[in-house]
Amino acid sequence: MAVVIIGGGQGGFQIAASLRAEGYQERITLIGDEPHIPYQRPPLSKGFLVGKQEQRHAELRPAAFYEAQRITLVTARATAIDRLARRITLDSGEHIEYDTLVLATGARNRLLPHDNVFYLRTLGEAAEIRQRLAAANDVVVIGGGFIGLEVAAAARILSKQVTVIEGQSRLMTRVVAPVVSEYFRSQHEAKGVDILLNATVQRISDNEVLLGERTRRPADLVIAGIGVAPNVELALEAGLPVGNGITVDEYLRTPDEHIFAIGDCAECPSLYFETCVRLESVQNAVDQAACIAKAIVGHPAPYGAVPWFWTDQYDIHLQMAGLPTGFDQVVTRGDPESRKFSVFYYRAGKLCAVDSINRPADHLAARKLIGAHATVSPDQAKDESFDLKTAVS
């Protein structure tokens, strides 16, 4: 029984590693289209950019691991899936047969309709940006989400002049409440970052970015982080259903019983939020991989991990548990001036998410609360004398 995994990122690697950990002894083939052994992406926008980490630090395992675990790495691009024959076609013309296929095709950067813009998702892109950062003085970052702000922080650590351009009225609009947006805006501005909100780029030249007739910013280097799109084309061409990602059930299986999908490219039902979600996080890829590995070895169980995320910018460590979609009430625990506080999100009176800034204990408690479908009242959440752990004991 052969397992073939398309995608050499965190999810693809983790499937292979989890299968061996579960005692799976048959053939495992991991297909990736980058000329590197599997690596993790989070360091690329943080320590790697400022020179504190090198490629070897990002590698998920050394090359010897794959030989020892009998995991065959194939550097190629999968171009077609023949579901009837259970066969993958590669861009080299080679064919690989499977008994079980896992699609871990990830996502790709959304692009701007401008030249002279760099993007950060792959190791190769990160290496080029790092090289260009060394020679740049004026850096413009387009996009005020996680990647954009992490890149801005790295550039300021390197003493570059940095401008962040965000089209919305606040930073990280899609994922955090206004109080968190404002906190990060104030911290970046305190470090010397020029933040422009409600701003739209009209033109990018070799040495400046034009936003309007009178708004220009010098730019030796322009980097965009405006979100990603899931890589679903291979599944779509194979006749698999696709929404905001490859559609899978609670076991992460597509309607084809021989094909699973995982990570950034997969949209699955949520046990916590009564909807289908596509999550872009390391945690999600790792936990989904463990779920699929168990299913392949004959111990299926619904995927039920609590979503959580993080970002590091300067000395700010933001940890997020749950999904704040549709929240209608927010309370703050702690004082933002202390640089250690949490924000609790409620939807129809039920706790749905918690953002914790430099408060790891709150984050761990939040994951347990959401995982247990428990809650604390807004009054309890903002009362620092209330022990959050008692709500799940």
d(Cα 195, Cα 326) in Å, to the nearest integer?
27
Indicate if the pLDDT at residue 332 is higher than 80.
yes
Which has the closest alpha carbon to 175: 325, 329, 365? 325
As a three-state string, the secondary structure of 168-213 is: CCCCCCCCCCHHHHHHHHHHHHHCCCEEECCCCCCEECCCEEECCC
Phi first, then psi: give them for residue 60, nearest 5 degrees. -70, -35
- Same domain for 218 and 234, yes or no, is no
pLDDT at position 109, please?
A: 96
- Same domain for 11 and 66, yes or no, is yes
How many Å is the maximal CA-CA distance in the chain? 65
Instruction: Give the pLDDT band of residue 393 (cuts 50, 70, 90).
Output: low
Place of tokens 């070897």: 56
Amino acid at 74: V
- Per-residue pLDDT averaged across 148-170, rounded? 97
- Per-residue pLDDT averaged across 227-245, rounded? 97
- Same domain for 151 and 202, yes or no, is yes
The answer to whether position 307 is within a domain reads: no
Indicate if the pLDDT at residue 63 is higher than 80.
yes
- Per-residue pLDDT averaged across 318-343, rounded? 94
Q: What's the Cα-to-Cα distance from 97 to each of 37, 70, 381, rounded to whole Å?
A: 22, 17, 53
pLDDT at position 146, please?
A: 96
- Same domain for 139 and 200, yes or no, is yes
pTM assigned to the model: 0.94
The answer to whether position 308 is within a domain reads: no
- Same domain for 65 and 207, yes or no, is no
CATH of the domain at 199: 3.50.50.60
- Same domain for 186 and 122, yes or no, is yes
Domain end, chosen from 224, 257, 278, is at 224
Domain end, chosen from 296, 330, 348, is at 296
Arithmetic mean of pLDDT over the chain: 95
- Same domain for 187 and 261, yes or no, is no
Domain that includes residue 331, residue range: 315-391
The answer to whether position 310 is within a domain reads: no
- Same domain for 357 and 292, yes or no, is no
Percent of the chain with pLDDT over 90: 93
Domain end, chosen from 246, 263, 296, is at 296
- Same domain for 99 and 19, yes or no, is yes
Indicate if the pLDDT at residue 2 is higher than 90.
yes
The answer to whether position 345 is within a domain reads: yes
- Same domain for 218 and 235, yes or no, is no
The answer to whether position 303 is within a domain reads: no
Instruction: Give the pLDDT band of residue 216 (cuts 50, 70, 90).
Output: very high
CATH of the domain at 350: 3.30.390.30
- Same domain for 62 and 18, yes or no, is yes
Residues in the chain: 393
- Per-residue pLDDT averaged across 217-245, rounded? 97
Instruction: Give the pLDDT band of residue 214 (cuts 50, 70, 90).
Output: confident
Q: In this structure, what is the dihedral angle of CA atoms 167, 171, 174, 179, given to the nearest 10 degrees?
A: -140
Contact between 105 and 30 under an 8 Å Cβ cutoff? The reply is no
How many domains in the chain?
3
- Same domain for 203 and 254, yes or no, is no
What the block records as the tokens of 263 is: 């990570």
Indicate if the pLDDT at residue 325 is higher than 90.
no
The answer to whether position 305 is within a domain reads: no
